[in-house]
Amino acid sequence: MSSVQARSVTRKRGFGYRAVVALGIVLILFGLPIFGGGAYLILLGGSWYYLFAGAGLLLTAFALFRGSLSAVSIYLLTYLGTVIWAFWEKGFDWWAQVPRLVAPTVILILLIACMPVLSRLSRPRRRR
Amino acid sequence: MHPRILARSTAVGLFGVSLTLAGWPAHAQTTPVAPPATAPASSAQEAPPAAQAPAPATAPAPVEPAEPIGEPAAPEPQTPAETPVAPEPLAPTTQSQDAGPSVQPTPSQPVPPSEQQPETLPAAPSTEAGSAPDQPGDAQDAGPAQAPASDAAPADTNARAPQPQRAVGADWPFWGGGAQATRYSPLEQITPENVSQLEKAWTYRTGDMPTEATQNKYSPEGTPLKIGDTLYICSAMNIMTAVDAATGQERWRHDPKVPAEAIPYGATCRGVAYYEIPDAAPDQPCAARVIEATLDARLIAVDARNGQLCQDFGDNGTVDLWTGIGEKVPGWYAVTAPPVIVRGIAVTGAQVKDGQAEDAPSGVIRGFDAVTGELAWAWDLGNPDITGLPPEGETYTRGTPNMWTTATGDEELGLVYLPMGNSSVDYWGGNRSEAENEWSTSVVALDVTTGKPRWRFQTVRQDVWDYDLGSQVSLIDLPREGGTIPALLLPSKQGDLYLLNRETGESLVPMEEIQTPEGGVEEGTYAPTQPASGYHTLRKEDLTEADMWGVTPLDQLFCRIAFRKSAYKGIYTHPTSDQFWIQYPGYNGGSDWGSVAVDPERGIIVANYNDVPNHNRLIPREDIDERGIKPIYEQNEGSEGGSNAEGSGDPQVGAPYGINVNAGWRAPFTGIPCKQPPLGGIRAIDLATGETLWDQPLGTARRNGPFGIPSFLPLTIGTPNNGGSVVTKGGLIFIAAATDNLIRAIDVNTGEVVWSDVLPAGGQANPIVYEQDGREYLVIQAGGHHFMETPVGDYYIAYALPRA
């Protein structure tokens, strides 16, 4: 059924859908190097955060491409982990939090903005 | 919200928030290896010419060097003055002059008597002072070494008896304020309460702006002198001007026509020196003169009244500093700091462009008669036998450590304190002579009457980090039982503050030793330990991966990976070639040429500092050749000479490696620093105890942002900074320095910024404070800085309270 759904979604070339896909692409563009770089950083003996964060971004992106509302919950989980990690690592040093929290928060806002579209897309197609 | 709008705001959010630090100034200098040379004997200490007069009241106090200063600071070092005795002239002088205090105002510019406050400097040189501490004892860990044995006959010199020095106050007679170079002004008209009313009193433009040939090479770093009713200024390309202190009107100008190719790495003239012939007739030409040293290595004297060249000085007003240096390669040997004049001797070193070759111009220090321009002496640390011109066909010892920054004169003791740099090849120590290793990165007290060193104090052993001493030392009289100790305050690029007995060079505060880590291409030959101050350091904790920064998690991750891939074992991580190494603090300090300010009445040191790593790698010779990186003497004319940051691809000819420095360690593409802010700060320190009173980031994010785009964020972030401060009796610190193009006033008691104004260009210069016609003025050059990436300008801007 999901493939059916996906197909039906692709047919919807509305603005909302294109925005969702664009956001997904942005998340892939960030998520892939963060995931790969994060794995490398672990090899170098560094932080494990980026591997997980990268995975979260990629999974969110896939959910977005599927037009699934689960993108929001996956990302919320990633974001929550990010906040906890960021404060654990740097506390209330706000300049230090800029790279840790600003972009992820912007993405959170964008995702929330996409929620109406996502919920429409992921609604089982009964009518019409 | 509409997604597209959201997307746009995302971009703004992502990019708006951070800053780009521009680089900082890189002023590290150095000089390469010299022939082994007769190493200065390390133990001997013979008092140089004992010709001096009575000992001053203040005993030289041997004092356990490990004793922290326990008492409040000296009340008023400006006038230590218990002993206004005029000693006998020490050496036969060429020009007769009695020691009578004769501070003459610039003859042509009558000065109301009230403005003259001839400062009675204690005039008694100390007898004892000639000897260095005889026991290394503490010295070995402290770094101070013994005075070299220089039993050579006291050179015949033109040094004269000590003269009273002009006081800081109405005037700003020396580069560092008063003769003590404390950057302290006793003026108190402007206070934290009324500073908000400051307004522009005048703007003066020198007219010296970059041409096509000098584009991106300007870093004027200028600080005026103010004497009588006149400011004496030099521009980036050494144009000297005199300006009315009340109106900013130009009175005269002298353009020495410095060629563009003379620019070493930046077009810089930090200031000029002023000298009055003690017994001159008031109408004698050049009775008062302004002396500057230029980028093309000339010493030029002009009449303070009219800017005309002094015919009695050198060759029609000019002395060629290339004499004895060797083949003339423009830009390799250049002077950016004002000479310091002590007992009638104008002392100067020079900037030898870093990283070119071991076989580089000498770091020789020379003293010239301030009246005649005659060479009084030369101090060639690689060959102490050369005390004048080198023998026919020879040069001063090539490649020796040089002094590119501003020295401090001690009229009373007849000494000049030289903050020495490193050899020209900064990042490879293998070919250095013993003499280089002994004198490099040391403050050296040179007897101006003989040109011989009295003592030295080394701050880095076998420096392979370009940790030149960049800051001018300040003279302070520290209260101790039964009197005061003549001390000097020495800041370093590593951020250490040292207090030394200026008669002996012994540390007056506890010294520490830092174990240096293993590793580095020259492993086994590095110094096992390095000195550090137990009194105060501006240095922060070692970096960790978590200190890496960026705009987004992605570029932060990039920096974290780079951090993990680099060699880093804290400060003094040795240079590596197979991987990058992190140098923290970088070569901009800590404290650089802006130096620190000291309020002797409150007993507070004000120090601004950088807090930035460099990311460096030694480049094997073959790669250097492959990349076509050539030393300055092989470059074609008009090629990119001085435009890059120092060390970003230097050949280091003669060493097995060249060097590549990413100054400030900025990520490629975004230009964002890899280290989180603050990248610079300002701190107040209790002079008596060395304790931090307050510490604040310096500079806002308004001009910084990723990809060089200003963020306009008025938030304090702490940017790299270059330039010093002034502290006033009125309770204010004035400083620009940061990359936000602001001049600001800070309450000295709290560290709070209580006033600021936007400058039309970067404020990478030391401000001055003076009084004219009953009004207190603050003057700052807005000249910009290529390395700091701030906009260039030719402005001098004066601020004052509105007229009542």
**What's the gap in Å between the CA of B670 and the closest CA on chain A?**
13
| pLDDT band per the 50, 70, 90 thresholds, residue B99 | very low
Q: Which has the higher per-residue pLDDT, B22 or B445?
A: B445
End-to-end CA distance of chain B: 55
Helix (H, G, I), strand (E, B) or coil at B389: coil
Crossing angle of helices A49-65/A70-90, nearest 10°? 160
Crossing angle of helices B553-565/A15-43, nearest 10°? 10
**Cβ–Cβ gap B558/A37 under 8 Å:** yes
pLDDT of residue A126: 57
Q: Would you say residue A128 lies in a domain?
A: no
pLDDT at B328 over 70: yes
The structure tokens listed for B170 are 């109405």
Mean pLDDT of chain B: 84
**What value of ipTM does the predicted structure carry?**
0.91
Q: Would you say residue A127 lies in a domain?
A: no
Residue B20's beta-bridge partner residues?
none
Give the angle A23-A26-A29 at the CA atoms, nearest 5°: 155
Structural domains in chain B, sorted by start = 3-21+126-184+230-800 (2.140.10.10)
**B141, B296, B303, B466: which is the annotated catalytic residue?**
B466
Given a contact cutoff of 8 angstroms between Cβ atoms, the answer to whether B470 and B28 are in contact is yes
Mean local confidence (pLDDT), B229-253: 98
A89 shares contact with chain B (CB less than 8 Å) = yes
pLDDT at B395 over 70: yes
CA neighbours closer than 13 Å in the CB half-sphere of residue A103: 20
| pLDDT band per the 50, 70, 90 thresholds, residue A124 | low
The structure tokens listed for B99 are 């020691």
pTM: 0.83
pLDDT of residue A125: 61
B541 shares contact with chain A (CB less than 8 Å) = no
Which pLDDT tens digit goes with each residue over B685-709?
Answer: 999 999 999 999 999 999 988 888 8
B369 labelled catalytic = no
Q: Which has the higher per-residue pLDDT, B56 or A64?
A: A64
Mean local confidence (pLDDT), B20-29: 37
Residue B673's beta-bridge partner residues?
B666
Mutate to test the interface with A, among B552, B555, B568, B711 (most CBs of A within 10 A): B552
CA distance B594 to B613: 19
pLDDT at B26 over 50: no
Per the omega criterion (within 30 degrees of 0), is the bond before B68 cis? Answer: no
pLDDT of residue B647: 74
DSSP state letters, B97-132: ----------TTS---GGG--EE-------SGGGSP
| Closest C-alpha among B324, B328, B320 to residue B362 | B324
Compute, in degrees rounded to 10, the torsion defined by CA atoms B701, B589, B754, B727.
-160
B75-86 residues labelled b (16+ CB within 10 A) or e (exposed): eebbbbbebeeb
Cα distances from B473 to residues A52, B196, B414, B546, in angstroms, run 52, 32, 16, 36
A116 shares contact with chain B (CB less than 8 Å) = no
Q: Would you say residue A87 lies in a domain?
A: yes
**Cβ–Cβ gap B6/A38 under 8 Å:** no
| pLDDT band per the 50, 70, 90 thresholds, residue B644 | low
pLDDT of residue B657: 97
> What's the total number of domains in chain A?
1
Mean local confidence (pLDDT), B605-618: 98
List chain A residues with CB under 8 Å of B546: 47, 89-90
Mean pLDDT of chain A: 90
List chain A residues with CB under 8 Å of B13: 102-103, 105-106
Cα distances from B643 to residues B25, B36, B234, B356, B647, in angstroms, run 12, 33, 21, 15, 11
- Could you tell me if residue B406 is left (phi over 0), alpha (psi between -120 and 50 degrees) or otherwise beta? beta
Least CA distance to B15: which residue of chain A?
A103
Mean local confidence (pLDDT), B562-571: 98
Which pLDDT tens digit goes with each residue over A82-122?
Answer: 999 999 999 999 999 999 999 999 999 999 999 999 988 87
Q: Provide the residue range defining the domain that includes A77.
A: 2-122
| Closest C-alpha among B255, B303, B306, B314 to residue B276 | B303
| Closest C-alpha among B220, B67, B253, B164 to residue B690 | B67
pLDDT at B137 over 50: no
Question: What is the residue type of B440?
Answer: S
CA distance A65 to A23: 9
Which pLDDT tens digit goes with each residue over B708-751?
Answer: 889 888 999 999 999 999 999 999 999 999 999 999 999 999 99
Mean local confidence (pLDDT), B336-357: 97
The structure tokens listed for B192 are 């934290």
B12 shares contact with chain A (CB less than 8 Å) = no
Tally C-beta pairs within 8 A across A and B: 94
Which residues, 6+ apart, have CB-to-CB distance to B11 below 8 Å?
none
**What's the gap in Å between the CA of B363 and the closest CA on chain A?**
43
Q: Would you say residue A32 lies in a domain?
A: yes
B356-378 residues labelled b (16+ CB within 10 A) or e (exposed): bbbbbbbbbbbbbbbbbbbbbbb
